[in-house]
């Protein structure tokens, strides 16, 4: 158990809908990262927040957004969902801004868009 929690574990929804995924980092960690893992694209970095501020942006679609709250938990919002958004979404956390640091991964949220 990494200490990173994610809810929900599974999510089934329809195309065009909007969902929110939630992540709580390990106690004391200031950075939160979001990743998407799919069979065809592999593991893709989406976005990083550090102490409430956006730190780095990867291959995140405009339909997706995220934020980190004052208590350091983070939410990833996915809107206008498409079939291709079906994937495993991981949250990870690290102590600082991420340079030379291990990222600790949560259990993931499996999203199925029908």
CB proximity list for 9: less than 8 A, separation 6 or greater:
107, 108, 109, 110
2 scored as a contact of another protein (CB under 8 A): yes
64 scored as a contact of another protein (CB under 8 A): no
Q: Contact at 8 Å (CB) between 21 and 6?
A: yes
> Smallest distance from the beta carbon of 16 to another protein, in angstroms?
28
Opening angle at CA 23, ends 19 and 29, nearest 5: 155
| Identity of the residue, 57 or 63, whose beta carbon is nearer to another protein in the bound complex | 57
| Identity of the residue, 20 or 97, whose beta carbon is nearer to another protein in the bound complex | 97
Q: Where are the alpha helices (DSSP H) in 1-114?
A: none
| Identity of the residue, 41 or 80, whose beta carbon is nearer to another protein in the bound complex | 41
Q: Contact at 8 Å (CB) between 76 and 64?
A: yes
89 scored as a contact of another protein (CB under 8 A): no
Tell me, by CB under 8 A, how many residues bind another protein.
21
| Among 10-18, 62-70, 72-80, 105-113, the segment contacting another protein (CB under 8 A) | 105-113
Number of H helices, E strands in the chain: 0, 11
Residues that bind another protein (CB under 8 A): 2, 42-45, 48, 55-56, 58, 90, 92, 98-100, 102-108
């Amino acid at each position: 158990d990494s200490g990173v929690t994610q809810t929900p574990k599974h999510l089934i929804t329809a195309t065009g809908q909007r969902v929110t995924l939630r992540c709580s980092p390990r106690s004391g960690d200031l950075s939160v990262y979001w990743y998407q893992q799919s069979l065809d694209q592999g593991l893709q970095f989406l976005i990083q927040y550090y102490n409430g501020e956006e730190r780095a942006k990867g291959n995140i679609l405009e339909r997706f957004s995220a934020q980190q709250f004052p208590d350091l938990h983070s939410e990833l919002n996915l809107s206008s969902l498409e079939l291709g958004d079906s994937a495993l979404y991981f949250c990870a956390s690290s102590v600082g801004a991420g340079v030379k640091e291990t990222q600790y991964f949560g259990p993931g949220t499996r999203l199925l868009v029908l």
